[in-house]
Amino acid sequence: MSALRLAPDTCHKALAAGLPDGRVPDMQVAMSRFALIADRIWDGVADEAQAGRAIVVNGGRIESVGPESSLPSDVERVLCPGCTLLPGLIDAHVHYSAAMGPSFLAAGVTTIRDVGNDLEWVLEQRARHADDPTAGPGIVCCGYLLDGPSAYWKHMGRAHADAEALRAAIRHEVGLGVDQIKLYAGLDLQLLGAGVDESRRRGKWSLAHLGGVSAEDAARAGLNEIQHLTGCSPAWKDSTEQEMDALIDVLLEHEVVMTPTLVVWDRLGRVLDHSFEFDVRRRWVHPCHRDIWDHWSGRSQNVNHRLALQAAAPRLKRCLARMQQRGVTIALGTDTPFPHLIPGFSVHDELAMYTDAGIGPVDALRSATSVGARVIGLASRVGRIAPGFDADLVAVEGNPLERIQDIANVQLVVRAGRMFRLQELLNLARAHFDKTPEDAVTTDLLTHRTR
């Protein structure tokens, strides 16, 4: 039986060089049943990767995982020398624009959770991506940002004057089929509690970007998940270990998940950092979004705010590492597409920040695979390499379980059983570039652009 062999480094080097058109095969390699063979396979759970094993993909699902020597003789083989095969990565905090799909896939991100968008639009995108893997990653969606009496984001969010209005909005979203409920910063404790209660009544997980409500009070109110380390006062100041542990005790008692999005705080604090303009990965970003970043209002305002975020970075890392050490569940999210957050590739940056904080590479990778899948409600489908799971996979050159930076060396991506090459993904991304995205995310971000 013949085998398709991926030349080591080909896709990664082509990405850095600019990917001239027409030099690699088609974007999709259409085989309904095939085996992937790499130097190592990591299943998303184990402490180490395994060698000498192969993954058989059939009809968009993983058929089997076993010794390479036991492969059926009639199965097509795809060889990935020098690579580690991992579950497709998960970004649990995204505000999605349709122009982002190819970029996520190119970075090995095969599932995202949209945590604030136009309700009907994102439901349509979820359906489209489920039917067509070429559109981009699978989507878990939360609908609108459910805010207080005044909505900060006019198109991604909705205002609610009182508890009954918020409860009615949650019932409406659940009726239309959202996966989880996102509560936003303008809610006081009473409104937050009502939102959490209504979400629970409707069988939905609740997550929140906290404003004036502390993480401890939100946990006691029953909130399932906190975004951005908001409300976590000890994370933002020079706290003692005892002060951090007092917060962590409450989070553990109430089983609250943390999605820290360190990378967005880093980028907002360093929005003026000139080096980001030379990041070759920016080629994946829609020109409209790059322009928003380059004219972000924070570049000329709030100097003290930027400096405060820069000063907070080591404190946030220190507290996050303590949370992970104590057993708080950590899910990886990025807050793409805020400034300098390249769709998909910012997941690699977030992973690197976790390891810089002292979290081991394997635990960091779990936050973007098996643990992330459990948090977004897809633990039986994605985030692991096991029979019956979706065939969402990424092959990277090297071993990110030992050197997290290797996660960026993407060689091959499989989404719902379809194999993708970076060249044609970039071509697909560029096909969106001649038209301004017509979505709530782009429209709202444009309000933060200055001339």
DSSP conformation letters of 251-266:
HHHTT-EEE--HHHHH
**φ, ψ (nearest 5 deg) of residue 49:** -80, 160
Average pLDDT over residues 167-194: 98
Token pair for 299:
């570049």
Token pair for 342:
């390249």
**φ, ψ (nearest 5 deg) of residue 330:** -115, 125
Band the pLDDT of 299: cuts 50, 70, 90: confident
> 353 burial class (0-12, 13-18, 19+ CB within 10 angstroms)?
buried
pLDDT at 370 over 90: yes
Do 105 and 248 lie in one domain? The reply is yes
User: How far, in Å, are 95, 180, 181, 288 from residue 140 at the CA level?
Assistant: 11, 8, 11, 25
Residue 432 lies in a domain: no
pLDDT at 11 over 60: no
Do 287 and 330 lie in one domain? The reply is yes
Do 336 and 405 lie in one domain? The reply is no
Do 321 and 393 lie in one domain? The reply is no
Residue 357 lies in a domain: yes
Residue 407 lies in a domain: yes
pLDDT at 25 over 50: no
pLDDT, position 22? 26
pLDDT at 407 over 60: yes
Band the pLDDT of 16: cuts 50, 70, 90: very low
Domain count of the chain? 2
Do 357 and 393 lie in one domain? The reply is no
Residue 428 lies in a domain: no
Do 45 and 153 lie in one domain? The reply is no
The domain of 37 spans 1-87+385-420
268-295 per-position pLDDT tens digit: 999 999 999 999 999 999 999 999 999 9
Band the pLDDT of 19: cuts 50, 70, 90: very low
Residue 105 lies in a domain: yes
pLDDT at 451 over 80: no
Do 375 and 398 lie in one domain? The reply is no
Do 374 and 391 lie in one domain? The reply is no
Do 372 and 307 lie in one domain? The reply is yes
Residue 451 lies in a domain: no
Longest CA–CA span in the chain (Å) reads 66
214-265 per-position pLDDT tens digit: 999 999 999 999 999 999 999 999 999 999 999 999 999 999 999 999 999 9
Rounded Cα gap, residues 76 and 32, in angstroms: 10
27-39 per-position pLDDT tens digit: 445 678 999 999 9
Average pLDDT over residues 181-195: 98
Do 190 and 246 lie in one domain? The reply is yes
Rounded Cα gap, residues 326 and 367, in angstroms: 15
**φ, ψ (nearest 5 deg) of residue 19:** 55, 65
Instruction: Give 16 or 385, the one with higher predicted confidence.
Output: 385
Do 129 and 273 lie in one domain? The reply is yes
Q: CATH number of the domain that 38 lies in?
A: 2.30.40.10
Residue 425 lies in a domain: no
Residue 19 lies in a domain: yes
pLDDT at 298 over 90: no
Do 105 and 124 lie in one domain? The reply is yes
> 21 burial class (0-12, 13-18, 19+ CB within 10 angstroms)?
exposed
pLDDT at 146 over 60: yes
52: left (phi over 0), alpha (psi -120 to 50) or beta: left
Rounded Cα gap, residues 308 and 183, in angstroms: 25
| 3-class state of residue 372 by DSSP | helix
pLDDT at 411 over 60: yes
Band the pLDDT of 424: cuts 50, 70, 90: confident
Rounded Cα gap, residues 286 and 336, in angstroms: 13
Q: CATH number of the domain that 272 lies in?
A: 3.20.20.140
